Amino acid sequence: MSHQFTEEYASEQDRNDSLSSFRDQFIFPVTEGRPALYFTGNSLGLQPVKAKEYMLKEFEDWARYGVEGHTQARMPWLPYHEFFSKSLAAIVGARQTEVVAMNGLTTNLHLLMVSFFRPRGKRTKIICEAKAFPSDQYALRSQLRFHGLDPDEHLIEIQPDPETELIDEAKIYNAIEANRDELALLMMGGVNYYTGQYFDIPGITKAVQDAGAIAGWDLAHAAGNVLLQLHDWNVDFAAWCGYKYLNSGPGGVSGVFIHERHHGQKDIPRFEGWWGHDKSSRFTMPDRFEPIPTAEAWQLSNAPVFAMTPLLASLELFEQVGMPALREKGDRLTAYLEFVIHEVSRNTGAGLRILTPKDVSKRGCQLSLVVPKGGKKVFEQISAKGVIADWREPDVIRMAPVPLYNSFRDIYDFGRILEEALSA
């Protein structure tokens, strides 16, 4: 398909887009009296229009019922977390019993590693990607130290190619093979936050399990972005945040996946709390913990309702669209952004480069753009013109056209602003 870098072409793509009306379900920040060109849905998703109404409902129910809201609220607080399971399961390709919304992402990674990183004998090592998101590195290294293991010895970091900055997947398979007898866990980002590279989750998971180890995935940049089939891929565990592609609002709750193979296992250690305890006897307050036979067993506390409500407004939209249609539009938007960046680079001679893989099966919506000369200044100029993107030192602009609310016209407008900044 031949794209065109024209306003007419972009507008026509929007007219032919069956998902274009979902844009109206979100609130765009306004800069210079116009809606921003918002490309940071991979960092903080936009506010769904319905979020405020739903929040107000909860405030009203709290005022009206006090403690009785646990059972009387329109969305009762006692089973509140259950309202998320169906749509989260559809988004990550899981059974409803395999997912639960709770806590923050890093908290969940720790809770999951309590259960699934159990170094024994020679099996003490963890494989992850080099330059993982800092919080993941801190979590992994502190888990190793918690078990009395030196992270410098026991954490195997797969290095990216220094030229492309991407990780050659063969290196991951080689590291699994080379550490067959010593590997306890692989924990990696499913989509790399910096380059946008999407890894072969089923292939890597299988290789890890064939080596007798556990495969866990941080899906912060994958959930609500790429197509996932966590159950069928036999992933052991995964976690993601709610506030990136899932639009839960700042610090909103994370989601976790625990494969049903691991449910109801008595020999898996777990940090326990009353919200993981059998629902029928929870309020008789027995001394002994009796786990719910689902992923809910990993819950500690009762649901932070106000930190979850906005997510309901967003998940409704995901249910209406469905991930396959979303991904299909996402691929088209990202391909157009890629085209526009190449056009701008050609028109200006700026030598722009895209780090993210060209192969659409190896990426989601995000593109990481390298601006080799004066990148920071270019970023400041486009920001002043209403583009909201994300700057990473030394020379990278990360952008994610999000299929739920971004348009082809957004991309066209961005392209013209970028061109102007590079020509200045």
Ligand X SMILES: *Cc1c(COP(=O)(O)O)cnc(C)c1O
Answer positive or negative: Cα dihedral of 346, 350, 356, 357: positive
Task: Give min distance, CB of 229 to ligand X, in A.
Answer: 20
CB nearer ligand X, residue 193 or residue 275: 193
Q: How far apart are CA 259 and CA 237, in angstroms?
A: 6
Task: Give min distance, CB of 44 to ligand X, in A.
Answer: 9
At which residue do the structure tokens 């056009």 appear?
343
Q: Exposed, middle or buried by CB within 10 Å (0-12, 13-18, 19+), for 320?
A: exposed
CB nearer ligand X, residue 85 or residue 192: 192
Task: Give min distance, CB of 389 to ligand X, in A.
Answer: 16
Task: Give min distance, CB of 189 to ligand X, in A.
Answer: 5
At which residue do the structure tokens 């085209």 appear?
339
- Please report how many Cα atoms fall inside a 13 Å half-sphere around the Cα of residue 194, on the Cβ side: 17
269, 246 contact by CB (below 8 A): no
Task: Give min distance, CB of 12 to ligand X, in A.
Answer: 35
Residues 6 or more apart whose CB falls under 8 angstroms from that of 416 comprise none
CB nearer ligand X, residue 220 or residue 337: 220
Q: How far apart are CA 147 and CA 205, in angstroms?
A: 24
The answer to whether the bond into 394 is cis (omega within 30° of 0) is yes
At which residue do the structure tokens 């998703």 appear?
45
Task: Give min distance, CB of 222 to ligand X, in A.
Answer: 9
- Residue among 247, 195, 199 at smallest CA distance from 219: 199
Alpha carbon 31 to its chain centroid, in Å, reads 27
CB nearer ligand X, residue 110 or residue 263: 110
Task: Give min distance, CB of 165 to ligand X, in A.
Answer: 16
Q: Provide the edge-to-edge strand list for the sheet that holds 353-354.
A: 353-354, 367-370, 396-399, 390-392
Q: What are the residues binding ligand X (CB under 6 A)?
A: 104-106, 133, 135-136, 189, 193, 218, 220-221, 241
156, 124 contact by CB (below 8 A): no
Task: Give min distance, CB of 241 to ligand X, in A.
Answer: 4
